[in-house]
Amino acid sequence: MAGLELLSDQGYRVDGRRAGELRKIQARMGVFAQADGSAYIEQGNTKALAVVYGPHEIRGSRARALPDRALVNCQYSSATFSTGERKRRPHGDRKSCEMGLQLRQTFEAAILTQLHPRSQIDIYVQVLQADGGTYAACVNAATLAVLDAGIPMRDFVCACSAGFVDNTALADLSHVEEAAGGPQLALALLPASGQIALLEMDARLHEDHLEQVLEAAARAARDVHTLLDRVVRQHVREASTLLGD
């Protein structure tokens, strides 16, 4: 590997983590009063904000309404100051559109859309700072926001990325590790059933190693679930204290 050593001989990564270790995750639900549901998450230096509106009537063209289930509308945007190089367009570029589509697929798999026919659920995700694993941070933030909005879901959706360096699977890649160009896997998991809501891999990886990387990502996603579950419980506890129960 040229230049940067992503995994030291002692098994430490560039930022001092072990191979399967996550970055520090902090999250909070209900950050905005106007939206139906909102959440903010920090995964290391990646910061994302998710807002959910709905279920509400279809906005815009009625032809988009689905007779048997709700329409999930996702928009991904990242702030112009989220990356080192200033971005020109916060949303609407190819990468943002693709990310929106991926989020939509993920949440169509998780939300019980058949309960709200002919309606629409908007999920807007905003990345404030991008330091690797933006997809994962967006999914985790959006899960919390959907829960905050009280929209019925099959399960949490927990996402994590994984990579593969020196025959070792690395969980939760940072920007430096992503930029190194190795294989990169994004996984969204429904932890209770162990089902996969979205799986995407870039670059080339030998088939024999796939299981190892997948396993690392799934384990990390389960860890994320534990953390998110704690956040939700904390939030509910606070909310119920405010109500005076």
Summarize as ranges the residues that interact with another protein (CB under 8 A).
Answer: 26-28, 31-35, 38, 40, 42, 45, 49, 51, 53, 59, 75, 77, 79-81, 83-86, 90-92, 122, 124, 126, 128-131, 175
Nearer residue to another protein within complex by CB, 120 or 168: 120
Nearer residue to another protein within complex by CB, 8 or 26: 26
Give a three-class secondary structure readout of the chain: CCCCCCECCCCCECCCCCCCCCCCEEEEECCCCCCCEEEEEEECCEEEEEEEEEEEECCCCHHHCCCCCCEEEEEEEECCCCCCCCCCCCCCCHHHHHHHHHHHHHHHHHECHHHCCCEEEEEEEEEEECCCCHHHHHHHHHHHHHHHHCCCECCCCEEEEEEEECCEEEECCCHHHHHCCCCEEEEEEECCCCEEEEEEEECCCCHHHHHHHHHHHHHHHHHHHHHHHHHHHHHHHHHHHHHCC
Beta carbon of residue 82, minimum distance to another protein (angstroms, whole number): 9
Beta carbon of residue 127, minimum distance to another protein (angstroms, whole number): 10
Question: Which two three-digit tokens encode residue 144?
Answer: 């919390």
Nearer residue to another protein within complex by CB, 40 or 164: 40
Contact predicate 39/228, CB 8 Å: no
Beta carbon of residue 83, minimum distance to another protein (angstroms, whole number): 7
Nearer residue to another protein within complex by CB, 23 or 225: 23
Give the whole-angstrom CA distance, residue 174 versus residue 201: 16
Contact predicate 160/220, CB 8 Å: yes
Beta carbon of residue 126, minimum distance to another protein (angstroms, whole number): 5
Beta carbon of residue 96, minimum distance to another protein (angstroms, whole number): 11
Nearer residue to another protein within complex by CB, 131 or 223: 131
Beta carbon of residue 199, minimum distance to another protein (angstroms, whole number): 27
Question: Which two three-digit tokens encode residue 245?
Answer: 């129960």
Nearer residue to another protein within complex by CB, 41 or 187: 41
Beta carbon of residue 48, minimum distance to another protein (angstroms, whole number): 10
Nearer residue to another protein within complex by CB, 93 or 215: 93
